[in-house]
Amino acid sequence: MRRLVVAFALTQLAGCVTGASIVRPNRVSLPVLIGAAAADFVVTSLAASAIEDYSTGGSLATGAAVMAADVAVGCLLGGCSSLRP
């Protein structure tokens, strides 16, 4: 049950890049994209550390994995258009 709560909390807390991509498709600026990715990483790492008592490395790895997944989904929705030349 605890793992289910952690998974639910992480999916609710993270998603900044995807959210920005939904709100502003093909118009997400580079600073917003970087800030959203950083917010995903920080919030997820802190949540993993506080909720699940992960080690520092485990918390950082969880934050990186969730951030990577969110950036991938956000880019599929058109949020990474500012990275194109």
Average pLDDT over every residue of 29-43: 89
Q: What is the pLDDT of residues 45-82, one digit of tens each?
A: 888 888 777 889 998 998 899 899 989 998 898 888 88
pTM (whole model) above 0.95: no
Residue 53 CA, chain-centre distance (Å), reads: 20
55 torsion bin: left (phi>0), alpha (psi -120 to 50), beta (else):
beta
3-class SS of residue 63: helix
The pLDDT score that the predictor gives to residue 46 is 84
How many structural domains comprise the chain?
Answer: 1
Domain coverage including residue 21: 2-83
Instruction: Give kind and range of the element (H or E) at residue 48.
Output: helix 30-52
